[in-house]
């Protein structure tokens, strides 16, 4: 880890895994930029950090929109001059079967989970290549590795993220850039409907527990890169 605090950009920072990652990286002394669509929720995250909130900067950004992502990246790079670690965490889903999923819902899932990851990564990659340093950590999903009912659109978007980032890794690994794909199983976050959280809470992983090993992944020596990590609940998959 560098002597100076790293600049860490975390998308989807307003709740769930993203919020836990903000709290974890700030606690360890990094400077975090947290983005999400709703500024009010980001303000709650910052307020919850107490005095440590001075190391957290928030910025409303809809990662589905190329212009919004470009504007956010310019603000971050103008202020901090670099992004050491990018964590692509923003994601949505609809728990619907294939035929029940509308084209609008499909587009929203793919635009957020896949296109958003592409746009945010593309916005900071040139500056990382210029410095020949940087780490891009993608919160994918175990849904990309297996088949679940009521999640075909979500699984497709996440499998796309895996393929996209595997391709990028092959392009930039000799240029000092690390690409890490993380495949979590069920984590107790608002992405799950309330009835599932109530029924399966005792079997799900907690965001704060999940965030700590991800922080450690970003602290490996420059000579090492964990290319992918699968983390699942001890009890295995949920039956939804």
What is the set of domains in the chain, with CATH numbers?
7-231 (3.40.50.720)
Element (DSSP H or E) covering residue 228: strand 228-231
Output the CA–CA distances (angstroms, integers) from residue 85 to 26, 110, 127, 154, 179, in the order listed.
Answer: 13, 23, 12, 25, 10
pLDDT by residue, tens only, the chain of 240 residues? 446 789 999 999 999 999 999 999 999 999 999 999 999 999 999 999 999 999 999 999 999 999 999 999 999 999 999 999 999 999 999 999 999 999 999 999 999 999 999 999 999 999 999 999 999 999 999 999 998 889 999 999 999 999 999 999 999 999 999 999 999 999 999 888 888 888 889 989 999 999 999 999 999 999 999 999 999 999 887 766
- Asked if 19 and 45 touch (Cβ cutoff 8 Å), the reply is yes
Residues designated as active site: 154
What is the Cα Rg of the chain in Å?
Answer: 17
Looking at the chain, list the stretches that DSSP marks H as alpha helix, in order from N- to C-terminal side: 16-27, 39-48, 66-80, 103-110, 116-131, 152-172, 194-200, 207-217
Give the integer Cα–Cα distance in Å for 157 and 144: 8
- Residue that has been written with the tokens 């978007």 in this structure: 157
Give the integer Cα–Cα distance in Å for 77 and 83: 7
What is the per-residue pLDDT for 9? 98
Write down the pTM of the prediction: 0.95
């Amino acid at each position: 880890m560098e002597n100076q605090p790293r600049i860490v950009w975390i998308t989807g920072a307003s709740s769930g895994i993203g919020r836990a990652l903000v709290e974890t990286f700030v606690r360890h002394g990094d400077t975090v930029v947290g983005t999400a669509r709703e500024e009010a929720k980001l303000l709650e995250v910052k307020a919850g950090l107490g005095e440590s909130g001075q190391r957290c900067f928030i910025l409303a950004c809809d990662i589905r929109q190329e212009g919004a992502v470009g504007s956010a990246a310019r603000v971050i790079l103008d202020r901090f001059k670099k992004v050491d670690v990018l964590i692509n965490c923003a994601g949505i889903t609809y728990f619907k079967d294939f035929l029940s999923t509308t084209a609008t819902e499909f587009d929203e899932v793919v635009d957020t989970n896949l296109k958003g990851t592409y746009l945010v990564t593309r916005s900071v990659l040139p500056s990382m290549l210029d410095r020949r340093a940087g780490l891009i950590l993608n919160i994918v999903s175990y849904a990309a590795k297996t088949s679940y009912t009521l999640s075909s659109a979500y699984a497709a978007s996440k499998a796309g993220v895996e393929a996209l980032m595997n391709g990028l890794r092959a392009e930039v690994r000799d240029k000092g850039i690390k690409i890490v794909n993380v495949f979590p199983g069920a984590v107790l976050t608002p992405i799950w409907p309330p009835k599932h959280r109530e029924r399966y809470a005792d079997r799900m992983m907690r965001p704060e527990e999940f965030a700590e090993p991800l922080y450690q992944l970003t602290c490996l020596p420059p000579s090492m890169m964990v290319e992918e990590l699968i983390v699942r609940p001890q009890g295995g998959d949920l039956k939804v």
